[in-house]
Structure 1
Amino acid sequence: MKFKTYSPCQSTENHLLKFNVYLSRKSANITEIRGNDTFLIPLDNSVCIQVNFAVKGVNGGWISNAHVLKFEKGCSMLKSLLGKAWKSFITTYNMNYECPIKPGVYVSSGLDISLLYNNNFPKQFFYGEYKITVTFTKSNSSKVLGCFTSTIDFVRPWED
């Protein structure tokens, strides 16, 4: 798995959960997530997380809805999905360890993306390049609270 991009997916001006982040090369072998997350509301279990995987087509365009996932109880599910990477994530942003994550501005001291590989995401995935859009909403509502995108290339082990 190779992270290629990480950014807000649209203007964050009206969002209550703002992800102002980007990838930064620290060295030839280390890439970090830098920037800040601004939460105007708590990130708690009333938040729903929707993940849409768009696969890169033969012509170079994105084909949406290759995989669509929806997670209720957003904070607890995020903690569960990140697994051992949760501690690295929380420590880097200086957030409280348990849910909910309180409103505030959380600045990344530089999260080495290799630390995110130790997670509970499915370990088998079709190889290829995906644009992943993660959208946060209130449960049973379509109002977007926040959103970010990441482009990830799932590669064969010998291609890493």
Structure 2
Amino acid sequence: MLMGEYKTNLKAVFPCESTEKHKLQYNTYLSKKSATGFELVGNITYLIPFDDSLTLNINMAKRGSIGGWVDNAHVYTTTKACSKMKELFENVWQLYVKGFHFSDMDCPIKPGVYVSSGIDLGQLTDTNFPKVFFYGEYKMVLTFPSSNNVEKLGCSVLVLDILRPWES
């Protein structure tokens, strides 16, 4: 397994399942902007505040050598979901907040419907994720469980390639 410095290529964004019963509804997707560029569009509906009382669970599955997903390749769980997302995504958080027209850059984010007409994915590169990572295709599932872990409050899936810096 090879690893090193990398760049990411976001290939898909979609809800884990129907968001109808979720209190944090992520109805986002990628839209082709140009021959080579995509943007993140859609809406986010928060029926409850997105704040530090929530937990964040990131579970990354890696595309297997014969196809299919190998679950739990990388798992990260933390409390204080809002602050941790802001810290992990750093400058991307600012673009995300502006793109979805949240009322405030800081936590908590108030309940409401937030709509993006398009966030340029070419700008979504400056994060606090590890600077060295294993190359390959990943399915990253971001889940926000309730504090007692009984209810799934929200969930979104990102499919991305982790590429060598010179690859396209």
One fold, TM greater than 0.5? yes
3, 9, 16: which one aligns with 2:23: 16
Shift of 1:17: 0.3
1:120 & 1:47 partners in 2: Cα distance?
Answer: 20
2:36 & 2:90 partners in 1: Cα distance?
Answer: 23
TM (norm. structure 2) is 0.92
135, 138, 151: which one aligns with 1:130: 138
Q: AA paired with 2:113?
A: V
Partner in structure 2 of residue 158 of structure 1: 166
68, 90, 98: which one aligns with 2:97: 90
SS at match of 1:110: strand
Deviations 1:49-106 (A, max 9, x none): 1011000011110010000100210000011011111111111111011100000000
1:1-160 counterparts in 2 under 5 A? 1-95=8-102, 96-160=104-168
Question: 1:132·1:150 contact (CA, 8 Å) conserved in 2?
Answer: yes
Greater mean alpha carbon deviation, residues 2-11 or residues 107-116: 107-116
TM (norm. structure 1) is 0.96
Question: 1:36·1:106 contact (CA, 8 Å) conserved in 2?
Answer: yes
User: Which runs of structure 1 show a deviation greater than 2 angstroms over 4 or more consecutive aligned residues?
Assistant: 138-142
SS at match of 1:108: strand
SS at match of 2:13: strand
Question: 1:72·1:139 contact (CA, 8 Å) conserved in 2?
Answer: no
Q: AA paired with 2:29?
A: Y
Deviations 1:29-66 (A, max 9, x none): 32100000000000000111101100001111001000
2:95 & 2:69 partners in 1: Cα distance?
Answer: 31
Q: AA paired with 1:104?
A: G
Question: 1:47·1:138 contact (CA, 8 Å) conserved in 2?
Answer: yes
1:155 & 1:146 partners in 2: Cα distance?
Answer: 28
Deviations 1:103-157 (A, max 9, x none): 0000012111122211111111100000111101123423100001011000111
User: How many residue pairs get matched?
Assistant: 160
SS at match of 1:82: helix
Could you say what the CA RMSD is over the residues aligned between the two structures, in angstroms? 1.0
Q: AA paired with 2:71?
A: S
- What runs of 5+ residues in structure 1 fail to find an aligned partner? none
- What runs of 5+ residues in structure 2 fail to find an aligned partner? 1-7
Shift of 1:9: 0.7
Q: AA paired with 1:58?
A: S
Identity %: 48
